[in-house]
Amino acid sequence: MVVGGFSIVVVAFVVLVILVLFAGVKTVPQGYRYTIQRFGRYTRTLEPGLNLIVPFIESIGARMNVMEQVLVVPTQEVITKDNASIAADAVAFYQVLNAAQAAYQVTNLENAIQNLTMTNIRSVMGSMDLDELLSNRDAINDRLLRVVDDAVHPWGIKVTRVEIKDIQPPKDLVDAMARQMKAEREKRAQVLEAEGLRNAQILRAEGSKQAAVLQAEGQREAAFRNAEARERLAEAEAKATRMVSEAIAAGDIHAINYFVAQKYTEALASIGTAGNSKIVLMPMEAASLIGSLGGIGAIAREVFGESNDGNMASQSSRPRAGATRSTPSVNPLPPRES
C-alpha cells in the first residue's frame, strides 16, 4: 500500500512538472509582439520565437501585430474654404513600433487612428479652395501624413502613408465645372485659330514684300542693262558718225553716199512696215538708190582692200544715168485706191 501510494505521488508530481513547463513555455509567431505582465504590471515584451515565463506569476498581457496594417477611413462630408460641400474618403497605413506603448497608451488603437485621420481630413481639406483641393492631392496627402504621424507618435505608432481615395463634389457643381472647362477649351481653340490666321497673314505679307523687292531688283537690273545697251549703241553710232565725218572731211564722197543710203534705206523700211498703211507712195528714182548702193560697195571694197580688181572699181565708180540729177525727174503718181 505504501509503495502504491508513493507511485501515485510521483506520477502526480511528474504531471505537475510537465504542466508547469507547458505553462511557462510561450511561442511568439513572426510579426507579433507579446507583452508580459507580472501580477498585472508590464514587465517586458516577448520577441518572435520560443520564450519562457514564470508560470502562475507572469502572464501574457497583449498580443500586438507589428506588421504594417491598412485602415480604411469611411466617406465623410467636408466643407471647403469657398463653402463647397464635398464627400471624401481615405486609406491609412500604419505600423506598431512599440508594442507596450500601443497596448497601454491608448484604448482601441484602430478606432483612435481612424477618428484622428477623419478629423484631420476635415481640417486640412477645409482650409483649401475647391480648385486647389481637386488639383493638389499630393499636397493634401503630405499634410495629412505629417499631422497624423505626429499625433500617434506617443502611442508607439508610425503612420507610413495617408491617401485620399476619392473626392466627390455635388452634381450641380460638377456640371458647372464641365461647362467652365468647355468654355475654356473653346476660348483656347479660338485663340489658337486667331493666332494661326495672324501668322498666315504675316507670312503672306512677308512673301508679297519679298516678291515686290525681288521684282524691283529685277526691274532695276533690267534698267541698268538697257541703259548700258543704249550707251553701247550710242557709242557705236557716235563712233560710226565720227568715222563718216572724218571720211567726209578727207574728201571721200563714198562716205556721204553710204551715210545717205543707210538713212534712206531705214526710212523705206519703216514706211513699209507701218501697220496702218495700205498704200505706200515711193517718191524716188531707182537709179538714185542704185547709185547710192554703188557708193556703199566702193566703200566696202576700200575697207577690205579689194583695190586689185580694176574693172570692178571702175564700174562701181562710173556714174549711172540720172545719178547726177539733183532732184528726181519722175513726178509722183497719184495714189490709187486699194
Distance CA 335, CA 333 (A): 6
- Residue pair 53/26 in contact by the 8 Å Cβ criterion: yes
User: What confidence tens digit (pLDDT) does each residue in 249-299 have?
Assistant: 776 666 666 666 777 677 666 666 656 555 555 555 544 555 555 555 555
Strands of the 32-38 sheet, one edge to the other: 41-46, 32-38, 58-65
Q: Measure Cα distances from 69 to 63, 66, 123, 164 in Å.
A: 15, 8, 24, 17
User: What confidence tens digit (pLDDT) does each residue in 20-72 have?
Assistant: 888 888 899 999 999 999 988 999 999 999 998 888 888 899 999 999 999 99
Distance CA 334, CA 332 (A): 7
Distance CA 177, CA 186 (A): 14
Here the cell at position 110 is 484602430
State which amino acid sits at residue 100.
A
User: What confidence tens digit (pLDDT) does each residue in 96-150 have?
Assistant: 999 999 999 998 999 999 999 999 999 999 888 888 888 888 999 999 999 999 9
Q: Which of 104, 206, 215 is nearest to 156 (CA)?
A: 104
Residue with cell 557709242: 235
Using pLDDT thresholds of 50, 70 and 90, give the confidence band for residue 178.
Answer: confident
Q: How many CB atoms sit inside 10 A of residue 37's CB? A: 18
